[in-house]
Amino acid sequence: MAKSYDVVVIGAGPAGYVAAIRCAQLGLRTACVDEWVNKKGKPALGGTCLNVGCIPSKDLLQASENYYRLQHQFGAYGIQADKVSIDISTMIAHKDRVVNDLTSGIATLFKANKITAIHGHGRLLDGKRVEISDPGSNKPKETIEGQSIIIASGSDAIDIGEAPTDGDRIVNSTGALEFLEVPKRLAVIGAGTIGLELGSVWRRLGSEVVLLEALDTFLPAVDQQIAKEAMRQFTRQGLDIQLGTRVVSASVKQKRVSIRHRGKNGEQELKVDRLIVAVGRRPNTGNLFSPESGLLLDERGFINVNEACRTNLPDVYAIGDVVRGPMLAHKGSEEGVAVAEVIAGGTGHVNYEAVPWVIYTAPEIAWVGKTEQALKEAGEPYKAGAFPFAANGRARAMEEAVGMVKIVAHEATDRVLGVHIIGPFASELIAEAVLAIEYCASAEDLARTIHAHPTLSEALHEAALAVDKRALHKVN
């Protein structure tokens, strides 16, 4: 007879493992099925985010930023360092150590919360049964049952036929975290979040980096005033961002990648040492469910869910990258908590209007809520205020006085509709803005809130004042 649990979670990324922990906290007997194998061939929890995504990429971004600042910025403080060098193998080893510590930490949390971790590929069958097979073999080894099922199978990097990855010279975002030497010339297909972050890592370490972006608009989801400033800063850093450029083909010849691309100047050839394909991600639904289960997908391949993350099947939920909404780890985690609380008989809620976004370049880009262009298109009356970090004392002391904070608020009610930041520690500063939107705060509320001096957060305070043209430390 199949083992039975109150909840079976398929996937142990940020959505799945958080859902499993919250279910266990609420007294539900929980199992979590996950097939991830780390670079040593051992099972590892944490999914893409902890193993080859959010965490390792931020580790390399921090390492490369430290290296760059030591070479180019610390001299302003009188700090001189001759013959600065970097050991890429040590950098990669540090990244691997951080990843191992965090994935091991999840295993410890599972044990402490009495969650049954099952290594294998989970496949939803009819009757709320989950078939578990050895990863990569499709040979079933057992079937378990759940009173409720949570699908959190995540997403995969999108491959394109024009540039097939080979795991060596042409790689996806995973492969870009494993280079053991700095490429002399590097091309990236895609100038979105992943492309910019990975391109920034290797540019700061010495690569000549070209980003080939098919869209004509740079960062279209970002407030365009912020995107324009980002383009200016990245260009100054040496990133060659070519918009309106489509890759026709890419092939490897004598350890060099030959790329044919078509843009404003017609078809051209580019030769580089490495090529990163970073054109986005797609929901991981391959061999995820049997036809007999009756699970429905939408037209884009995502699992079809309602506002409460319920699928078309009774007591079967789906969360994270495999459903609609932004593919962000924290969004998936919040959905996991909400679904766990619903299963336990409570209420769960995720405010999708208050989900923060971050691009971890230098300067960082972060935003929450609506952009100015979206408000214009909707015909919604608004007012906006911005404050530059060039006028912020802490940013100047840090030698990071670039970018700005921008706030858009409703013209009549003054309610904060969106906050957009490019500058130092934008990823941390955005938390106050998220709270403001969650609590339906007005720009006046932020303007009347005392911010410590000198801090970067004063730029948010000044931007709130600037909404009504009364900033104190800039000309209105």
- Sorted by where each begins, the domain ranges of the chain are 3-157+282-350, 170-279, 354-466
Helix (H, G, I), strand (E, B) or coil at 280: coil
Q: Which fold has domain 170-279?
A: FAD/NAD(P)-binding domain (3.50.50)
Find, among 201, 202, 214, the residue nearest to 158 by Cα. Answer: 214
User: Beta 30-34 vs 116-119: how paired, if at all?
Assistant: parallel
Helical spans, DSSP H, in 144-223: 193-204
d(CA 238, CA 71): 15
| Three-state DSSP state, 144 | strand
CA dihedral (392, 397, 403, 406) positive or negative: negative
This prediction's pTM: 0.96
354-466: what CATH class?
alpha beta
b/e map of 24-33 (b: 16 or more CB within 10 Å)?
bebebbbbbb
Percent of the chain with pLDDT strictly greater than 90: 97
Instruction: Supply the mean pLDDT for the chain.
Output: 97
CA distance 111 to 90: 31
pLDDT band for 140, please (50, 70, 90 cuts): confident
* Catalytic residue check, 453: yes
Q: What are phi and psi of 14, to 5 degrees?
A: -55, -30
The pLDDT confidence band at residue 395, using thresholds 50, 70 and 90, is: very high
Residues of the chain above pLDDT 70, percent? 100
Q: How sure is the predictor about 411, in pLDDT bands with cuts at 50, 70 and 90? A: very high
CB 431 within 8 A of CB 364: no
Instruction: Given the residues 261, 451, 453, 473, select the one marked as catalytic.
Output: 453
Q: Helix 54-72 crosses helix 193-204 at what angle (to 10 degrees)? A: 40
Q: Rounded to whole angstroms, how far apart are CA atoms 132 and 130?
A: 6
What is the average pLDDT across 64-93?
A: 95
> Using omega within 30 degrees of 0 as the cis cutoff, is the peptide bond preceding 454 cis?
yes
Residue 419 and residue 407 in contact, taking contact as beta carbons nearer than 8 Å: yes
In CATH terms, the superfamily for domain 3-157+282-350 is FAD/NAD(P)-binding domain (3.50.50.60)
Q: Which two tokens stand for residue 188?
A: 């990236």
Both tokens of 109, joined, read 């949390």
